[in-house]
Amino acid sequence: MLLAFELSGEHETLPAGEILACMRSLDIEHTVVKSEGQCLILKIGDETPAISTLPALLSARLAMTHHIIAVIFECRLSESSILGSVIDAEIAISRGETFSVRARKIQQSPITTERMERLIGEVIFERNRVNGARVNLTSPDHRFRAILTDDSCIFGEVLASTERREFEERKPHKKAFFYPGAISPKVARAIVNLCEIRTGNRVLDPFCGTGGILVEAGMIGASVIGIDVQESMVRGARMNLGAHGFEYQLICGDACNLPLRDQSIDVVVTDPPYGRSAVVMAESIVSLYRYALFEMHRVIVDGGHAVVVSDFELPWTDEIGFTTIELHTQRVHRSLTRYILVLEK
Ligand SMILES: C[S@@+](CC[C@H](N)C(=O)[O-])C[C@H]1O[C@@H](n2cnc3c(N)ncnc32)[C@H](O)[C@@H]1O
């Protein structure tokens, strides 16, 4: 089966990165068939266990995907080729069921989406006229979607969509405790996913601030531990985490001297201070990162991952014993590039 992921496009590499990490953490064998701008297509064996529940599981976890689509065909980008392929696909709608067709351009293309939606809709309607198929744009039984790139059309049926509104509702300023510099829930969820977390894993954020990363990790079933050097942040994080009904542990402490046993944590996900506006409790920003990385390495289990967000490429990760397995960069503005490093012990 081919699954197409229609990506949000808010970052160049993170959306695909979080999908591939989720597939690995769920032990789903897959091959990348296409990775182009806002579309990732994966081939998954039809015999994959729990394949029918996979789209719902993924859509509940992913932050930067809009839709997960079962691909029916991919064809050249031309009106005749698309309509010919829809006719050949002989899309069948059961008696009395409803459908919708939506198209989205993810690259420059001369095709108008409204016209394509109407023409494809007419073909499906005619094919199923005797069954009494009807169009319903608000809550159809079948949602068909055409993704238009600059040279092809990927067409399929939507199996699951992410609830983008829920991320909006968890934005830092809407939480019980707000402090400037808190991470956005979408970025937090994406970096949590990059860690390949499995249900029940112990996840540590040693610079937890208002608890933004811990909220996202707890929501996908991790057991979360947060540490911050400021008592006021620990109190605030408690207010934010308390709203979600899962277990958590918060400690006021120093990331450079963690009050945790060796190898007692499965993954670390963290967004340390950049030293611009956030409080830095250390000799310097360099010593803070260096000693905190030593401590992360000590407490993580062998083979465990750490995702660290920083505003400079951390030069000593190898020497500490980590292997860098992924690097995502994001240019925030002219003088700030954010680096997201995925490290493995
Ligand atoms: C960028 S903020 C984290 C923001 C957090 N991701 C959120 O969503 O609110 C960095 C945090 O590191 C904390 N911090 C600074 N030095 C620290 C240290 N040595 N050990 C632990 N926490 C420290 C600060 O108090 C601050 O809350």
The structure tokens listed for 109 are 């293309």
* pLDDT one-digit tens code per residue, 293-341: 999 999 999 999 999 999 888 888 999 999 999 999 988 888 888 899 9
Do residues 156 and 170 both lie within one domain? no
Do residues 156 and 178 both lie within one domain? no
* pLDDT one-digit tens code per residue, 235-294: 999 999 999 999 999 999 999 999 999 999 999 999 999 865 556 666 788 889 999 999
Q: Last residue of some domain: 128, 162, 196?
A: 162
Q: Which pLDDT belongs to residue 108?
A: 83
Do residues 53 and 176 both lie within one domain? no
22 Cβ partners below 8 Å, 6+ apart? 58, 61, 62, 193, 196
Quote the pTM value.
0.94
Quick one: which H or E segment has residue 55? helix 54-61
Lowest mean pLDDT among 27-31, 105-109, 163-167, 295-299: 105-109
Q: Which pLDDT belongs to residue 43?
A: 97
Do residues 121 and 264 both lie within one domain? no
Do residues 186 and 276 both lie within one domain? yes
Q: Which pLDDT belongs to residue 277?
A: 54
CA separation for the pair 267, 304 (Å, rounded): 6
In this structure, which residue's CA is closest to atom 3 in ligand 1?
A: 209
Average pLDDT, the chain: 94
Ligand 1 mean position, distance from CA 177 (Å):
15
Q: Please, what sign has the CA dihedral across residues 162, 166, 168, 172?
A: negative
The DSSP symbol for 322 reads -
In the predicted model, what is the mean pLDDT of residues 130-134?
Answer: 92
CA distances for 126 relative to 67, 69, 180, angstroms = 26, 23, 56
Ligand 1 mean position, distance from CA 78 (Å):
52
In this structure, which residue's CA is closest to atom 7 in ligand 1?
A: 182
CA separation for the pair 343, 328 (Å, rounded): 12
Q: Which pLDDT belongs to residue 147?
A: 97
Ligand 1 mean position, distance from CA 169 (Å):
23
Number of domains, the chain: 2
Do residues 327 and 238 both lie within one domain? yes
CA separation for the pair 20, 124 (Å, rounded): 33
Residue list, ligand 1 pocket, CB within 6 Å: 181-183, 206-207, 209-210, 212-213, 227-230, 233, 254-256, 271-273, 278-282, 288
Ligand 1: atom nearest CA of 288 is 19
Ligand 1: atom nearest CA of 254 is 20
CATH assignment at residue 140: 3.30.2130.30
The structure tokens listed for 170 are 């968890």
Q: Which pLDDT belongs to residue 199?
A: 86
Q: Which residue has the tokens 């949000």?
A: 8
Q: Check if the beta carbon of residue 345 is closer than 8 Å to that of residue 322.
A: yes
Q: Check if the beta carbon of residue 76 is closer than 8 Å to that of residue 146.
A: no
Do residues 201 and 175 both lie within one domain? yes
Q: Which pLDDT belongs to residue 275?
A: 65
Q: Last residue of some domain: 131, 162, 193?
A: 162
Domain of residue 307 covers 166-344
